[in-house]
Structure 1
């Protein structure tokens, strides 16, 4: 009788174990299967790798193909349905697919404590109340996550949410401004959205050792909104015989440099942060990495030129570039002489914008360690350059017929316009010529002040809080 009871007990335990495994499997499946009102996308962590044995290893070509397989739970080798929760990418062509994700936010697996620089981890995420286009599922990931980090001092909007996914969705759905990045607090559920990011304000990125906060870059920006709410202007900076190492992305064969740069501007599947072109092989590589994110993975190379698009806050309608790139960059050297303008605490984008606004600008020095910009009225043809490891020298390849700046004064906003040739005419506020204009004759500099509305309504100025 005891023997029979033990048999029944063993059968019960086996049956219970099967039920438990089925329950666990269903729980895992439910985590990484998005609901009808959600969109499956990916959050990427650079220099990260999930530990464990992958279910499938595939040389799919690049991360975009891998993300499509994982998003749709398709095994790359057979086309069969197989649960995919995350994948590792080696930066070149190989992906490692998993049915689990990293703890504690998504799964039970662990991230490797010592990943290599060319490791990328992609985690499937279900974003509520956004469609596939808003979540840019045509790209391999929607957000880049920087762990235990926040961008301080530039919170445009702060909201309370129920989850990290709701925070990311709110950024994508924001209509009042372009949400470029978010800070998310896992304890307080605070979601802080910003019009700045780690590239535009690199000195304001802070480690959050005392609070469970992560920083996220919005990877769904496009050519129209990547620079500003109105569209902005992009120019290219060229570094000859230079590349980002160990990372290849979207490749194509293009007949010449201009076609390759246009490929970057028109890129939909990749948020183009850099492009490389081989003049001999005609090989064009569009990448979502740049010298900011791969500071330790870059260097000299033969027969390949490197380009980075930079947003400039200047009117380029009167600028004509003699070459495809607006600037040539020379790393680790500086030009000697007396600068005509200087700015401190700026980014290279600010420095480039300052050059566009100054009609005398022929070159600039940018100190990477001090974030200092010096504008010069001469180029290397008329001045000496010397080695300087903390400084990069940029030579301007464009000419401007107009330049200018805006200054905040006690009387209001003062606009100063400089012209290359003497100008006869007027400048005025839009639709306010009769009450707000300045007429000049044969002048190379024109200035006009727009007073605040509480002093005078003549120029149509308004104050927005």
Structure 2
């Protein structure tokens, strides 16, 4: 006949009540020694029970959490130890140090968790909000994965060595009472499940910390049918569903490794720091129930992404020892990290590294997929695939204030693991050489370009490259700082220097100049943020005497993505303009010089600079005025036209006179001939 979940819960409670019936509540108060400057915490022993009826301080039934039982003992200065079974907490004024014969193994069919007070240096600081610091397993040793061996006078001293270890995360320690050897390890029974890593060794005690921070994301739980634990660390009621119970396990104040839900009552969630890998010393730790199921934590992966200006770094932290590969899905051979028995590993994926083939989905948006592969050659069902994204918002924002133009940029990082890296806001301004903003300047004035990060606490530094000056009229431009970050002509602009010893504010000195066709000079530069600092580049420049020398400039040459697709999402484009006045002005008191050309007269003005000096040397010929030349040419043409007209008029008059004379002579001859003929006829 099958037992219902509610009847099972009642039966378990009745069994616990019968087992605890001989224990009577007592309330004696005694004074125990304090920790003398050390911190009080607790040490657990699973499967052991402390039997000392005359030393009982208090019996607290209906205690559903081990942490509550421990807190009761911690708050009572007379309490030195406790027994805990699910639903029952018993406090004692003495402990196994004082009366070791009172501590024995729990008898089948139940098992008890025994805890006693211990004093450890820095426990409250290094084991924050954890009910207990260690669990001890007597005559048990981790024979493999020992990171460091030290000498300790006592078992407590060995615990302190592990707790205060700085070079690695100490998860367990084995102490040999005979030799005084303390073996520290970054592994424990949950990170190394192979039984070959452990051995039964007399005179050696094994300690496992509860203070380590395990990853609690992307966790897998293996379901085991037909059984649940007899004793658990915490019981919660009115839990909504199995997923909520899982969340309670992953976010508990102890290292939870298993849970069951709904098997001892409706909406009842039970959590335990134990799993099958840590219960090998306990006889029959499970209660066999056909319809029950227990979920045991297998592996967790905390994945973080560091999105940087030139690459992304994926870092993986796991709770179980990993040997295998972490590689880019599309480039498993050229972009890979081999891992041998590690709990933390990483892979760097360069945006410009063809071997990693990171995809660019859009301006400033990068995507790739990586695989956590356990086997060296094949992909199995336990492997994990991850989609990684870094997104940089690099749109240009123009802020206008008079002639001040700047581009601000925010750089949030978007990834599957919610990694956010704020980027800098960079302002470029034009100022006097020693500081102070300027609106206008004259050719030759000593000025500087300042590049400054606006956020005072940003981790970024910056370097500048590809600084150009344009006239804004016919797109005439000059390159001042090249792609390496070096000045192209030191006579025009010097190297970029840091201000106040930091590359968060940069300065580029120059003397004011202008273009022939415009009095506005616009500066544009690519500013690249870098972490944590920007390394200066060595520039080979030629000085005024023609000698070559090395100088430092805050730039850095790298193969630009623009060489591949015409854009680089990692640079910030900054723009600034200034009006540069020419120093050459027409002198008001200068009399125009006159010159004659082709019967015309033109005026040529000689320009003087602001100091009243002639722009050209006195022995140089003056420049002709274009308007005067045009007028002289016009007058010359008019004179020619008048001459031609006069000549045509005279020629026409002469022709008419000659024709008249010819006509008269003809008439005279006609009349003479007629008169002669008439006379002859008469005679």
TM-score by structure 2 length?
A: 0.39
| Paired position in structure 1 for 2:86 | 92
Q: Does the CA contact (< 8 Å) of 1:244 and 1:294 recur in 2?
A: no
Q: Secondary structure at the match of 1:40?
A: strand
Instruction: Specify which of 355, 363, 373 is matched with residue 437 of structure 1.
Output: 355
| Paired position in structure 2 for 1:44 | 44
* Alignment RMSD: 4.1
Q: Does the CA contact (< 8 Å) of 1:406 and 1:415 recur in 2?
A: no
**Which protein has the larger Cα radius of gyration, Structure 1 or Structure 2?**
2
| Paired position in structure 2 for 1:134 | 126
Q: Does the CA contact (< 8 Å) of 1:233 and 1:313 recur in 2?
A: yes
Offset, 1:414: 7.2
Q: How does 1:115-126 map to 2 (within 5 A)?
A: 115-116=107-108, 117-126=110-119
Q: Secondary structure at the match of 1:112?
A: strand
| Paired position in structure 2 for 1:207 | 200
| Paired position in structure 2 for 1:273 | 257
Distance, in Å, in 2 between the alignment partners of 1:299 and 1:316 is: 39
| Paired position in structure 1 for 2:396 | none
| Paired position in structure 1 for 2:237 | 252
Offset, 1:312: 5.2
Q: Does the CA contact (< 8 Å) of 2:123 and 2:133 recur in 1?
A: no
Distance, in Å, in 1 between the alignment partners of 2:90 and 2:143 is: 35
Offset, 1:134: 2.0
Consecutive unaligned residues of structure 1, counting only runs of 5 or more, are: 1-24, 75-82, 227-231, 318-347, 359-400, 417-427, 447-465
Offset, 1:145: 0.6
Q: Secondary structure at the match of 1:221?
A: coil
Offset, 1:289: 2.1
Offset, 1:287: 1.5
Offset, 1:254: 1.9
Consecutive unaligned residues of structure 2, counting only runs of 5 or more, are: 1-28, 306-318, 340-346, 360-368, 372-683
Offset, 1:38: 0.9
Q: Does the CA contact (< 8 Å) of 2:234 and 2:271 recur in 1?
A: yes
Q: Secondary structure at the match of 1:157?
A: strand
Q: Does the CA contact (< 8 Å) of 1:154 and 1:194 recur in 2?
A: yes
Q: How does 1:185-204 map to 2 (within 5 A)?
A: 185-199=176-190, 200=192, 201-204=194-197
* 1:87-141: CA deviation from partner (whole Å, max 9, x where unpaired): 122x212222222221xx55555322564441221111111x21424234542x2
Q: Secondary structure at the match of 2:72?
A: helix
Structure with more contact order per residue of length (Cα contacts < 8 Å, sep ≥ 6): 1
Distance, in Å, in 2 between the alignment partners of 1:254 and 1:114 is: 31
Q: How many residues are aligned here?
A: 304
| Paired position in structure 1 for 2:104 | 112
Distance, in Å, in 2 between the alignment partners of 1:64 and 1:445 is: 40
Offset, 1:58: 2.2
| 1:302–1:42 distance in 2 versus 1, CA, 3 Å | same
Distance, in Å, in 2 between the alignment partners of 1:445 and 1:272 is: 28
Q: How does 1:45-444 map to 2 (within 5 A)?
A: 45-53=45-53, 54-55=55-56, 56-59=58-61, 60-73=63-76, 83-89=78-84, 91-102=85-96, 105=97, 107=99, 109-112=101-104, 115-116=107-108, 117-127=110-120, 129-136=121-128, 138-139=130-131, 141-199=132-190, 200=192, 201-209=194-202, 212-224=203-215, 233-240=218-225, 242-247=227-232, 249-268=234-253, 270-278=254-262, 281-294=266-279, 296-301=284-289, 304-311=292-299, 402=329, 429-431=348-350, 433=352, 437=355
